[in-house]
Structure 1
Amino acid sequence: MSPDIPRVRAGECHVWFADAVHVPPLLELLDDRERARHDAFVRASDRALYLTAHALARQLVAAQLGVRPTEVRYVQECRHCDRPEPHGKPRVAGADLELSWSHSGGRVAVALSLAGPVGVDIEEVAGEGKVADLSAAVLSAVERTELERLPAAERARGFIRYWARKEAVLKATGDGLMVEPSLLTVSAPDAPAALLEWRERAEPHLPVRLHDLDAGDGYRAAVAVLGTRCPVARHEAGYGGDGTLRHPRRGVTTSARC
């Protein structure tokens, strides 16, 4: 294992953040399907986000398994349909390691877990217009009331906090946006992260351990782990021009509220 990539131990979750880059050597880490998806993006910024997230995930998983990044294999499972093409929540083939990734704006996040199924989401803070457009579809009645209580200048950040928490939960359970986010109620933006209610569904899964994460200025992020309470270690990484993962820094370790 690379000395720069700490091992994820039993009962732990690690979340890595990085700025998106488009370094040609990273393309060599992707498989044929990933490269085709990368090439299909029209905007250079989207190609950079996709490349960084997938290359970083392969490097992190490879370091945990003691293999080369090109040897990492994924399987994808969808809870809601049986379409033959691979889609849905990714899992590492032949390993207990759980995986999730996300990207937004110019940042990516990759979560690895040996504590249970994991979902991570990072979101760039949007303007007030986006909040007005999406609140009714995304937030529960309780959440809309809480958001209205915030000063107008704080509502965009509050909404994105809600959105990142919900996406993290739905990624962890494997439901994704096949489930309406408004069915979930999470804690208020200024309160510790927690899933409070999931309407129209009894306890559907292991307990949800939800954490807010520092994703950098202008971003909000959250990670959800299903199962027992677990520590979450935050890491920040960057890339050199040759595609080398450089200067990883370990941040504060936190534990989730029940």
Structure 2
Amino acid sequence: MSPDPAVGDADSAGIALVGPGECHIWSAEARWAPELLDVLDERERERCAQFRHEGARALYLTAHVLARRTVGVQLGVDPRDVVFVPVCKNCRRPQDPPHGKPTLPGTPLELSLSHSGTRAMVALTTVGPVGVDIEEIAARAGLPLDVLSAAERAELDRLPEAAWPPAFIRYWARKEAVLKATGDGLMVDPALLTVTGPDAPARLVEWRERPEPHLPVRLEDLAAGDGYRAAVAVVGDGDRVQVVRQSDVRV
């Protein structure tokens, strides 16, 4: 699937309406513009200010403004009026401070956002819980190979070592997308999940120790640009989910 710049049914910012059975993905390049802080709520502005480096602040700002604008178009409201309620499925007590996956109570929309390097990405659907993950392929001293299942590690071992970083990041983006969709996050050991090899179409093959109802999961790789890998996962009947549109926008 490739980015679709021609969005005839979109608003002027390139944000289309999400139809039944569809999952839309938007991405944006990070930029710092102080006036965009007015789009965030007080909690988001406080969180943004906590980042010490301007690049990290710009990335957080871009991701959250992108999320607010895409949701605002769907609901027909000003982005400033969008209310996100973080929900952590692993917390049994009131969350202080609030944290977890952002939800949109009172609407049929399911949301996920991710950011890495200088790129932000947002996914929206009404089909079921969604998770999106974008990861920069960055040089690092060592890869945390313990997050791979035995089958994934065997597949990686067949590749030349120079191909390991992009292959590993492909695995990681897919796993992270699934864990974000189910709301488990890294409270679940990623090695319990097995996804298809990096050169094969994305698919969740196995989740040890996890029965239904979290399966089936529709999993797809996304176009993320040079130096990045990305994936989206939607919990529900895979035959009913169509990842129909991926667009780049400027916040």
Q: Is residue 2:155 matched to residue 1:141? A: no
Letter paired with 1:231? Q
Letter paired with 1:238? R
Aligned match for 1:6, one of 3, 13, 16: 16
Tell me the residue number matched to 2:136.
Answer: 124
Tell me the residue number matched to 2:91.
Answer: 81
1:18–1:108 Cα contact (<8 Å) kept: yes
Q: Is residue 2:173 matched to residue 1:164? A: yes
Shift of 1:204: 3.8
1:99-137 per-residue CA deviation (whole Å, 9 max, x = no partner) reads 000000110100011121100000001336332xx012x
The whole-number CA distance in structure 1 between the counterparts of 2:192 and 2:183 is 15
Shift of 1:28: 0.4
The whole-number CA distance in structure 2 between the counterparts of 1:141 and 1:156 is 17
Q: Is residue 2:195 matched to residue 1:183? A: no
Aligned match for 1:55, one of 62, 65, 90: 65
State the TM-score, normalized to the length of structure 2. Answer: 0.91
Tell me the residue number matched to 2:204.
Answer: 195
Structure 1 spans left out of the alignment, 5+ residues:
240-258
The whole-number CA distance in structure 1 between the counterparts of 2:172 and 2:156 is 12
1:168-191 per-residue CA deviation (whole Å, 9 max, x = no partner) reads 000000001111111101100001
The whole-number CA distance in structure 2 between the counterparts of 1:146 and 1:201 is 23
Letter paired with 2:221? D
Aligned match for 1:93, one of 105, 108, 114: 105
The whole-number CA distance in structure 2 between the counterparts of 1:33 and 1:168 is 25
Tell me the residue number matched to 2:28.
Answer: 18
Shift of 1:150: 0.9
The whole-number CA distance in structure 2 between the counterparts of 1:130 and 1:56 is 32
1:128–1:155 Cα contact (<8 Å) kept: no
Tell me the residue number matched to 2:4.
Answer: none
Shift of 1:65: 0.1
Aligned match for 2:55, one of 42, 45, 49: 45
Letter paired with 2:229? R
The whole-number CA distance in structure 1 between the counterparts of 2:33 and 2:216 is 39
Tell me the residue number matched to 1:231.
Answer: 242
Name which of structure 1's ranges 84-93 and 163-172 shifts more when overlaid on structure 2: 84-93
Aligned match for 2:39, one of 29, 33, 37: 29
1:17–1:237 Cα contact (<8 Å) kept: yes
The whole-number CA distance in structure 1 between the counterparts of 2:237 and 2:206 is 18
Letter paired with 1:43? H
Structure 2 spans left out of the alignment, 5+ residues:
1-9
Aligned match for 1:106, one of 96, 115, 118: 118
Letter paired with 2:100? G
1:3-34 per-residue CA deviation (whole Å, 9 max, x = no partner) reads 53210011100011111011112110000000
Shift of 1:98: 0.5
CA RMSD, Structure 1 to Structure 2 (Å)? 1.3
The whole-number CA distance in structure 1 between the counterparts of 2:237 and 2:100 is 24
Higher relative contact order (CA 8 A, sep 6+): 2
The whole-number CA distance in structure 1 between the counterparts of 2:140 and 2:59 is 24
The whole-number CA distance in structure 1 between the counterparts of 2:27 and 2:199 is 23
- What SS does structure 1 have at the residue aligned with 2:123? strand
Where do 4+ consecutive residues of structure 1 move more than 2 Å?
1-4, 82-85, 126-130
State the identity as a percent: 60
| Aligned pairs, number | 236
